[in-house]
Structure 1
Amino acid sequence: MDIDFEAAIKPFNWMEYEGSFSVTLTVGEYKVEVFRRRREEGFLGTGYDWVSLALVFLDEKMPELSDAIDFDPEADTFCAYSSDSESLKKFILGFKAACEDWRLIQDLFSRAELD
């Protein structure tokens, strides 16, 4: 694993185990303000809310990866996983870049649906 890659995706964390790869995020510390704008609709910034946002991103920005990426959130954790490390790396680099673009992430989140 390239240190630059791990640094580039922080605060997301990369994990590998026996042919499976995952990216996790402990929610509640990163981009809290994104979810705060739709709190009255029920978005609290949980792992499920992050998946709702990630699905819009994946569908609109990287639809070619949709079949390769799966999600397994918990209330306090966002988790994306795949058996294809390159697809997951491409997804998380793109998703992290989108998260850092305030206008883009707000636009994407405006179409996210509450789980």
Structure 2
Amino acid sequence: DYENTTGQKANTLWEAYNFDLDTGNLLSFQDIVTDEKKALVFLAEYLTEQMENPQYENISWKNTNLPLLLAEADWYFSENGLVLLIKPGKIAPYKEGFFQFTIPYNNFSFLKNKYQFMAVP
């Protein structure tokens, strides 16, 4: 969720917290994947492909080390996939705002079995 706390460059906050339902512990990205390095490389490649979609044709993307940036990105589980939240100024000029990318579960093979999405009947 996010909130605009005003200012010339809006001081915006957007964070996600994920908890293990069995233990109540806060989950890190490393906790949910089988191989963090490979998962981050995959996500960087996936995002690079997404950035080429027509909806982003007018965006000037920054030359960024995506795996490093993604290691620090906020994320959450949704019904549609793993959602990555990229804060303003990280991959594009600040004025472009937040970016949210959803990686469908069936495209992301690095999730530990425990965190695979199972639809509720």
Q: Provide TM-score, normalisation by structure 2.
A: 0.37
- By relative contact order (CA 8 Å, sep 6+), the higher-ranking structure is 1
Structure with greater proportional helix content: 1
Q: Provide TM-score, normalisation by structure 1.
A: 0.39
Larger of the two Rg values belongs to structure: 2
